[in-house]
Amino acid sequence: MPSWKKLIVSGSDAAIPSVSTAADFTVDAGGDIVLDADGTDVILKDNGTEFGRFKIASSDFIIKSAINNKDILFKGQDGGSTITALQLDMSEGGNAQFLKNISGSQIEASGDVIAFGSSDERLKDNIQPISEPLYKLSKVGGYTFDWNDKQDTYEGSDVGVIAQEIHKVLPEVVAERDNGYLGVKYEKIVPLLIESIKELKEEVDDIKKKCKCLNK
């Protein structure tokens, strides 16, 4: 195997069968740089040890790590600092960890989506019960409806609430999306339901007490 510090290759279809160098090896091209493995894998090595490869399998493009139980990281630059945007955890069966917010119109999953929202009391100030919960709940409805063609995410019949109604009584759970339409954080309606049930229980308990007094 030849060992060179400088290699010059010219021609539109120039090929390098093998190169070994102790110094940096730079490829500077005025056009595309093509890696063609002719049906086999493009193998990445460090000091002779494989650490990854690119391959095609059944028309799928595969990025494969060859290091056992080591993560695959996608890094970039943000404000002059190196950040990790995506981490694929190979020690946990390929679980993906997005280290910042995920932006996009929707997230789809064929299995369960498990998420936990921050709710520790130590992270909150000015904690107050929701006022007039039953009144607020009475101002919103639950509906069946059909999705129309002003969006392309959902189709057919569905059930839900109306964002405009929710916004009037609980604006904190409604947000305007980039497309100008309103979205509802459905899980954030649960506290309103909790306080409504508690208020309703107080009214029922009060009625029971009055009934007992009348029966005496």
Tens of pLDDT, residues 105-155: 677 777 887 778 889 999 999 999 999 999 999 999 999 999 999 988 889
CB distance 52 to 61 below 8 Å: no
User: Going by C-beta distance under 8 Å and a sequence separation of 6 or more, which residues neighbour residue 135?
Assistant: none
CA atoms of 112 and 127, how far apart (whole Å) = 32
62 and 134 in a common domain: no
Structural domain containing residue 57: 1-67
Task: Annotate 121-134 with DSSP letters as a single string.
Answer: GGG--S--PPSSHH
Give a yes or no: residue 119 inside a domain.
no
pTM of the predicted protein model = 0.59
Give a yes or no: residue 151 inside a domain.
yes
Spatial CA neighbour of 131 closest among 195, 205, 203, 204: 195
Q: How many helices (H) and strands (E) does the chain have?
A: 3, 10
Give a yes or no: residue 105 inside a domain.
no
**Locate tokens 């490869």: which residue?**
53
Q: Where among 12, 44, 67 does a domain terminate?
A: 67
pLDDT tens across the length of the chain (216 residues): 455 555 555 555 666 666 676 777 777 777 888 888 888 899 998 888 888 888 888 888 888 888 877 778 888 888 888 888 777 777 766 566 666 666 666 777 778 877 788 899 999 999 999 999 999 999 999 999 999 999 888 899 999 999 999 999 999 999 998 889 999 999 999 999 999 999 999 999 999 888 877 666
Tokens of 80: 């002059």
Give a yes or no: residue 87 inside a domain.
no
Q: What is the total count of domains within the chain?
A: 2
Give a yes or no: residue 125 inside a domain.
no
Q: Where among 27, 47, 67 does a domain terminate?
A: 67
CB distance 16 to 7 below 8 Å: yes
Give a yes or no: residue 183 inside a domain.
yes
Q: Where among 18, 46, 67 does a domain terminate?
A: 67
**Locate tokens 């195997």: which residue?**
1
Give a yes or no: residue 20 inside a domain.
yes
Give a yes or no: residue 161 inside a domain.
yes
**Locate tokens 């139980």: which residue?**
69
